[in-house]
Amino acid sequence: MKKKKIMLIVNPCAGRKMGQKISDRVVEWFHEGGADCELFITGKRGDGTEFVLIDGGSFDIIACMGGDGTLNEVVNGVLKSGLDTPLGYIPAGSTNDFANSVNISMDPQQAVKDIIACHTETIDAGRLDEKYFSYVASFGAFTKASYNTPQSMKNVIGRLSYFIEGAMDLSDIHSQHKVVKANGETFEGDYIFGAISNSMTIGGVVKYNDSEVDISDEKLEMLLIKKPERISDLCSLIHSIAHKEYKGNPYIDFCRSDEFVVKSDSATDWSLDGELGKGKKNSTISCVKNKINFIRHIK
């Protein structure tokens, strides 16, 4: 029986440098499971995408070990190259929002077994103009922190680091005027945060009900938050987010669609899965429908 050829892309700095610590052991697990595994180590931003574009077509499975940013790079490589190769993920980051949204084992050895078994589900991704994202495009409060926070701080205290870094910028948080058209509706306001996602959770803080998110339904979810005017408004906003009540609050705009046309007063920097995505004054965010053959854990 032919052995599966697996491309393993590892970010050695993600999380608490777990990729650096156990990458050799992970390769051994693949070999012990009857697969051939070739290791690719990232050294700078963008390497994950380049590895897939150059060599991805030579493998039966493409897998990556790192955080959401590593997965973002690999997803961009897969989609830009037009490959339908199964994609596996070994979570090793600080937040792992995507892994928490889909059925992926957080145990590296079990994740390796799942990748070898290769039970796939075709899922959606997102696209901001020319760049893809695996689960979220966001702007505003705290999103700059996701790509500005030093890796060393992320490694030590995980997702709390984003909020510490973001809190340093609270005095600089300003609302951004945007007009968003989706599903024949127009949403307009001065927003301090916005996220268009295909995920059950964003940053471990924004969480959706199971009935609101299906990662394969050819839709993305939009959440826009306006700046509260009074303390009572802030309390109401916090209550709505904590209780996953995104409809009916005057400071929250929520909808689901396969495309969002976003118009801004000035060019907007987006966070794409925690990585910086330079935006324009006007951008289109769309659902990339059923394009990723993602490997899931089967109980």
In this structure, what CATH number is given to the domain that contains residue 225? 2.60.200.40
In a domain, 101, yes or no: yes
**Which tens digits make up the pLDDT trace of 264-277?**
998 888 989 888 77
- Report the relative pairing of strands 185-197 and 269-272 from DSSP bridges: unpaired
- Cα angle 286-88-34, degrees, rounded to a multiple of 5: 160
Helix (H) or strand (E) holding 292: strand 282-295
User: Is pLDDT of 232 > 80?
Assistant: yes
Q: Report the C-alpha gap between 252 and 241 in whole angstroms.
A: 9
The reported pLDDT for the residue numbered 15 is 67
Place 154 in a pLDDT band, splitting at 50, 70 and 90: very low
More confident residue, 98 or 135: 135
Q: Report the C-alpha gap between 170 and 167 in whole angstroms.
A: 5
Arithmetic mean of pLDDT over the chain: 86
The reported pLDDT for the residue numbered 66 is 92
- Lowest model confidence (mean pLDDT) among 13-22, 243-252, 257-266: 13-22
Mean pLDDT to the nearest integer, 173-184: 90
Name which of 12, 8, 9, 24 is nearest 155 in CA terms.
12
87 neighbors 77 (Cβ within 8 angstroms): no
Q: Which residues pair with 66 in a beta bridge?
A: 91
Residues 139 and 95 in one domain: no
Q: Which residues pair with 262 in a beta bridge?
A: 180, 283
In a domain, 149, yes or no: yes
The reported pLDDT for the residue numbered 128 is 94
Residues 142 and 158 in one domain: yes
The reported pLDDT for the residue numbered 145 is 40
Q: What are phi and psi of 266, to 5 degrees?
A: -150, 165
The last residue of a domain, from among 125, 160, 177: 125
- Cα angle 15-21-25, degrees, rounded to a multiple of 5: 120
Place 172 in a pLDDT band, splitting at 50, 70 and 90: low
The reported pLDDT for the residue numbered 150 is 47
Residues 100 and 165 in one domain: no
The last residue of a domain, from among 106, 125, 144: 125
In a domain, 296, yes or no: no
More confident residue, 33 or 192: 33
The reported pLDDT for the residue numbered 222 is 96
What percent of the chain clears pLDDT 70, i.e. is strictly above it? Answer: 87
Enclosing domain of residue 61: 5-125
CATH number for the domain spanning 49: value is 3.40.50.10330
User: Is pLDDT of 35 > 90?
Assistant: yes
* Other Cβ atoms closer than 10 A to 15: 23
Q: Report the C-alpha gap between 107 and 5 in whole angstroms.
A: 22
The last residue of a domain, from among 125, 150, 183: 125
**Which tens digits make up the pLDDT trace of 275-292?**
877 778 999 999 999 889
Q: Which residues pair with 136 in a beta bridge?
A: 197
What does DSSP assign to residue 112? H
The reported pLDDT for the residue numbered 236 is 87
The reported pLDDT for the residue numbered 142 is 55
User: Is pLDDT of 163 > 60?
Assistant: no
The reported pLDDT for the residue numbered 294 is 95
Name which of 101, 122, 6, 135 is nearest 63 in CA terms.
6
In a domain, 177, yes or no: yes
What percent of the chain clears pLDDT 90, i.e. is strictly above it? Answer: 56
Residues 137 and 64 in one domain: no
More confident residue, 99 or 253: 253
More confident residue, 125 or 2: 125
More confident residue, 152 or 72: 72
Residues 106 and 202 in one domain: no
In a domain, 297, yes or no: no
In a domain, 190, yes or no: yes
Residues 25 and 109 in one domain: yes
Number of domains the chain contains: 2
**Which tens digits make up the pLDDT trace of 52-74?**
999 999 999 999 999 888 999 99
Mean pLDDT to the nearest integer, 203-226: 88
Residues 198 and 101 in one domain: no
The reported pLDDT for the residue numbered 24 is 93
Residues 137 and 216 in one domain: yes
More confident residue, 218 or 166: 218
Question: What residues contact residue 267 under an 8 Å CB cut-off, 6+ apart?
Answer: 278, 279, 280, 281
Residues 168 and 90 in one domain: no
